[in-house]
Amino acid sequence: QVQLVESGGGLVQAGGSLRLSCAASGRTWSSYTMGWFRQAPGKEREVVSAIIWNAGRTSYADSVKGRFTISRDSAKNTVYLQMNRLTPEDTAVYYCAAARGGLPSSSIRYAYWGQGTQVTVSS
């Protein structure tokens, strides 16, 4: 049974930091790409960052480059998203997802999804 469980969301002031975690189970994740998406109210879901598990290659949306860092811990089967210098525009529900191969930016390429964690950044 595949499970992706996000945690670490919350309320933070602008300029602050949060670290999201995604605990993954039910697959051999070394052959997957893990992505973080976000969806703000009234907006489409968008990719934030992705990492190829075994190679460690990463990608970032332009809006988060230099502020967010994705990483993974193979021993814990966990993917992280370190978010620094947060702004109110980062407010959204953040989702962890898994895809087979590459660094896809389209959500339709991701087969497995977590339930999401809310991130709210106050001004």
What are 46-103's pLDDT values in tens digits?
A: 999 999 999 999 999 999 999 999 999 999 999 999 999 999 999 999 999 999 988 8
- Which amino acid, 1? Q
Q: How far apart are CA 52 and CA 57, in angstroms?
A: 5
Q: What integer pLDDT is reported at residue 77 of this predicted model? A: 96
Q: 86 burial class (0-12, 13-18, 19+ CB within 10 angstroms)?
A: buried
Q: What integer pLDDT is reported at residue 101 of this predicted model? A: 84
pLDDT higher than threshold 90 for residue 112? yes
Instruction: Give strand pairing partners of 18.
Output: 83
What are 4-52's pLDDT values in tens digits?
A: 999 999 999 999 999 999 999 999 898 999 999 999 999 999 999 999 9
